[in-house]
Structure 1
């Protein structure tokens, strides 16, 4: 009884805490409430010592809530105290002290003052209805120095005004770095005066891929020319500087170079001609490491460095196939001449040579984690995207790293049920997953962790062809990234964070931002048990508002009310939606189940899937859900260079005669069909007998959809070894890299 009362007290305390906590994002490091309220006046009196540019920003943001008037310091309601010179690491510190009669901001720098204004703006917006801001004292600064968002303008282009809006979103939530991806295979987007053909030719393509990659369909419409002039670049840089945001430009090399090669084919290993890519993916033609190429890249970087004042210049370095280098006599001679181990060593040579030039200009390079191949350049920083290992390796070698692993930080992934979301690249990265990320890998010591500069999310735009869709993909996930980067995220209190997110929606509504409402949708989770599987539904709102059907019909307010997990005893379709006051408030979620003798059974994997494609873990292979080839993130497991070795425990000796599973082929994304598969049975989980072998030709003919008759069998355990294709052969995107193997349900009948 005592424990029950205590649990109830704690639950009610959490509710009160959630209700009373200010709806700030990112939440401050230290916030203490005081007695009384500051009443928002019709006219806010400002003292004359406020930093000018930042205060003008404040006036524009709050012009619909309050008017402003310059005043004497003694009468001012908003005052500023500039602190002495900032100690190391305190450049972004601020304090915000709100009393019933006055608001005082203290900071060492204008940047700190600007961050304080973002907090103040959120307080004004949250309390504009009752016009009472609780008296409080905030002392605050970010945990990480690099809090970034990336935008790819190569696959699809966005105007100067749209890029400015993007920068505004970063400023609102205290991000401080904008990574501008300016060159790629599909388009060159920055004017380089010494090489005018880069924009005359390289900024356009004859058409664009549309729909799912596997469909291989195109729109037939010329795209471009689209690029930014150097004057426009300067305009955007100034706009960002006014908001204390650093722009890091990216010039891709040695791969992702087709747009540049279309303009200057002499920089390739082969003769060409080349054209800007119309497909997404990775291509074999890359920059050839010859003197002519390095001179070209140095001249390009010289103009870029003159434009951008950032400490770091991003040089790409990712996904560079070595096919052309292997075939190139010059490259092979260069490998011998410099005693390089192989083509990976040649990539390191390439990056180090570029780094020397960038360093000579007083700047540093940063690149995707493939720049680790063959050895890291002496002063380079690493942007770790393929996972966390690149960042770990860099930090252990005392190189700085920015953590941006695809599993948590790729905002081109789906954020809600893929069946009800706009077409996305793949993956499944909902708001709570972004919020759960810790940029400091557990493998690092306290000293090594100092080399983690921070965190960044990336927005690749293969399937994002307008700015409204940009907004949709970054919001509200940008808010989770903001709090992760600030260092105040707490995954244990995710629901409290979610409530603050929902509170911010009214601000986005007022701004006309097209944000995703996926958190309102009903999400489902398969739970295996002794008697098969059950299906648990949840929503950010009261679960009493969930209605569902199990006969495939659309849910209405009169459908079954969700009151706990739903038993799935047979193949069926569950449809669900959230209703409030009789009105449909979410999209309809639909999940089809195909039940077999393995559904819900215990399963173990010898090799674990990639973190990017591991949603649900091993249970995904026995959850009764057949994978959708267009939606890789939620219903498939992805294995990079690894075989699937799965053992399923039926629990008792079970009769069966058929086995099925699916693998995928999408070579543009390095996904290849399984090379082979073997099926084994056992009664003791030790001694296994092979009952079926499926060869490459059979898998190819079935297009990865495997259904095999294994004769009459009876066993307690079944094991499948589904062989990865291995190293991608020459002539394919990603040649010489590890192939991906995707597998969905393993069913037995």
Structure 2
């Protein structure tokens, strides 16, 4: 029997025994408090009953205390006079794989497990418990029976847009391990950079790992830094180092090699793999590009050779092959592609994509592995053994599960951590969207459309971090924390959205530990959150904070709340145009950022509105009311003030409640082609007195919309009606020469007003 001495350091400050829940994240499936407490000693000896407690495991546990003086230590001496942790391996019939039993009672700690993963998770829980109560020097006696709900509990990291060092990637893996996530999805190739050494094709890293410059600021600004980026890539030895590091922490690394789209970095090195001759270079802009892998024999030989080296480096069951956002423009113009479609009796270019993916799958399957891809691999028919990563919404996962294919749920509206998590005005520049902590916590990975048998095909849940606007690792930390904590509890299966506030309290306690570790987490939940709501045929502005709501103060004239403000008590009525500035104060001292929200009130503000088509799930915050809440969307930020519609027209009917005079109608729209967002094609204005028979009074075309640069004001003459209807026509299919060509365009609209 080997004995190992453990010294626990302080990460989390103490809490009262009487609190409703202990400060554990993710919370265990079953926890019982037993009468009495046990003293927390400074040193604890671990005894493994069945086999030796490996020294490497002690080394791994030490990494969670790297910023503290004390350490887990090994001891070859006699039994010291310290408290014991007894660790016992049991059969699967007693404790399921990944599960564990933890008991603290009478100054003794017992852990039971059936797999090393379960033992590892038990120690993560024990670390959190001891650190939580270290100030009090004693811990409540308790029993925990715990088991994760989902087999796939993942986090993704894009290193193609911006690169992160081996040490930073290891730190990322540590964060996953702290919160019992078990899958690291490593996005290694894309248009902007190829980041993995492939010995058979050295030009991939010689040419594809660098770019001339990088896009900066908001996409619509179209500005660049003028600085060469790279060469940056991981050698195969570094890849092995990271994989081993993750394996020690019971985390599977799933590599992603993008195909057939997002291939510019590869085509820059080997242009003969494209449909056209090139030349190509790694992209300096973000977005989607027409030049993709051409499905010819030399391309498949290349990709199979690449995947052979990748599969040698990564032992994961699944290999991610991308499959998303592949424009068909080049394939439509390519004689070889058209002949391939004819020869194989394929329906169209979507069928050709399915042919491409299935051919790759056969090779991966021949090596004893499986492919997983973004939900576009459903186009033209899903490969026989493929799993789907559902990102555009939940429909891809539903379709996969109903056809007996496994799926990982990662819808952008809940699981994209490159979205804003607080007021965009007080947050660093982000890709767009709005995914605050409470929304992540509210997600249920099992779609309601699935029955119990179909639900078994949902492997789990994953969050993704795309790095177009993330320049360094401190910003990575900012974007994943604290949202990673919410994801971990969703993935573990113990999230409780109706009691979100209780979870938020635990998050705040964990901030103290992150402070000890010098983690740059987002403090957005401390800031004031504002939400426009409809009530009494008007708009009210609700303010909230994770802190004591009595600390909220605000002004209505645009002045600083610190100078002359009033205490927030009830939602603020918005009956005229104004600016609300708000902040959180504690002991009369400003404790948060100052939030600002302007309201522009028109005759539609707060009125009843009905949409014939609903916005996309990723861009639906606030629903139809967002279009009449008095808040004008910022054209440089795709935050929560916009509604987005893919391939759909916006048809909105507004009920004034009574006949109302007006002579001008306005709305705002966006043009952000790198994100497939296009200005509307046209707009028509209708009026009615009964809500049934509508008369068109005005129509404008694309040229008028373009000339207005998205800020549309339409003179309609002197009108006096009860109902106003506006139809804003989507641009339709994206034309060749644009990112996302042949795909459905997005139409973004905000604030439909009448004056």
TM-score range, shorter chain: over 0.9
Corresponding residue for 1:159?
Answer: 165
Offset of 1:353 from its aligned partner? 0.3
1:46 and 1:69 in contact (8 A); partners too: no
Determine the structure 2 residue equivalent to 1:593: 599
Q: CA deviation at 1:709?
A: 1.1
Deviation at 1:241, TM superposition (A): 0.4
Question: Partners of 2:685 and 2:659 in 1: how far apart?
Answer: 16
Match of 1:359 among 365, 376, 386: 365
Tell me the equivalent position of 1:411.
417
Partner of 1:675: 681
Q: Residue 58 of structure 2 aligns with which residue?
A: 55
Distance between the aligned counterparts of 1:124 and 1:558, measured in 2? 45
Change (3 A) 1:729 1:137: same
- Partner SS for 2:350: helix
Give 1:720-735 correspondences, 5 Å limit: 720-735=726-741
| Displacement of 1:530 | 2.7
Kindly indicate whether the alpha-carbon contact (under 8 Å) linking 1:18 and 1:496 is maintained by their aligned counterparts in 2: no
Do structure 1's residue 121 and structure 2's residue 124 form an aligned pair?
Answer: no
Q: Counterparts of 2:656 and 2:461 in 1: how far apart (Å)?
A: 43
For 1:19, what is the secondary structure of its paired residue? Answer: coil
Q: Which residue of 2 aligns with 1:37?
A: 37
Q: Does 1:82 align with 2:89?
A: yes
Kept in 2, the 8 Å contact 1:65–1:128? The answer is no
Aligned position for 1:658:
664
Equivalent residue number for residue 168 of structure 1: 174
Among residues 244, 252, 265, which one is paired with 1:246 in the alignment?
A: 252
Q: What is the CA-CA distance between 1:65 and the residue it aligns to?
A: 6.2
Looking at structure 1, the residues matched to 616 and 242 of structure 2 have their Cα atoms a distance apart, in angstroms, of 37
Shift of 1:66: 7.3
Contact 2:64 2:174 in 1 (8 A): no
- Choose 554-563 or 229-238, whichever is displaced more: 554-563
Which runs of 5 or more residues in structure 2 are unaligned?
1-14
* Alignment match, 2:499: 493
CA distance in 2, matches of 1:86, 1:352: 39
Query: Are residues 1:372 and 2:378 paired?
Result: yes
Q: Which of these residues, 257, 278, 285, is aligned with residue 279 of structure 1? A: 285
Deviation at residue 36 of structure 1 after TM alignment: 1.3
In structure 1, stretches of 5+ residues that fail to align are 1-14
Q: 1:139 aligned to 124, 145, 169, which one? A: 145
Contact 1:47 1:72 in 2 (8 A): no
Report how far residue 20 of structure 1 moved. Answer: 3.4
- Report the secondary structure of 1:634's partner residue: coil
- Output the CA distance in 1 between the equivalents of 2:97 and 2:603: 61
Please show how residues 498-509 of structure 1 align to structure 2 within 5 Å. Answer: 498-509=504-515
Structure 2 residue aligned with 1:715: 721
1:743 equivalenced with 2:749 (yes/no): yes
Separation of aligned partners in 2, 1:145 and 1:100 = 34
Q: How far is the alpha carbon of 1:19 from its aligned partner?
A: 2.4
1:629 to 618, 621, 635: 635
Question: 1:477/1:115 Cα in 2 relative to 1: closer, same or farther (>3 Å)?
Answer: same
**1:56 & 1:250 partners in 2: Cα distance?**
29
Q: Which residue of 1 is the match for residue 343 of structure 2?
A: 337
Identify the residue that residue 440 of structure 1 maps to in structure 2.
446
For residues 301-316 of structure 1, the aligned pairs below 5 Å read 301-316=307-322
C-alpha RMSD of the superposition = 1.6
In 2, distance between residues paired with 1:112 and 1:183? Answer: 33
Please list, as runs of the form range in 1=range in 2, the aligned pairs for 1:467-616 lying within 5 A after superposition.
467-556=473-562, 558-616=564-622
TM-score in terms of structure 2 length? 0.95
1:22 aligns with 22
Q: Distance in 1 between matches of 2:70 and 2:113?
A: 25
Partner residue, 1:638: 644
Q: Indicate conservation of the 8 Å contact 1:44/1:66, yes or no.
A: no
Matched residues in 1 for 2:483 and 2:41: separation? 33
Q: What's the counterpart of residue 12 of structure 1?
A: none
CA apart distance, 1:67: 6.5
Structure 2 contact 100–146 (Cα < 8 Å) conserved: yes
SS of equivalent to 2:640 = helix
Deviation larger for 632-641 or 379-388:
632-641
Give yes or no for the alignment of 1:391 onto 2:394: no
CA distance in 2, matches of 1:566, 1:32: 44
Distance 1:125 1:356 in 2: 49
Q: Could you tell me which residue of structure 1 aligns to residue 10 of structure 2?
A: none
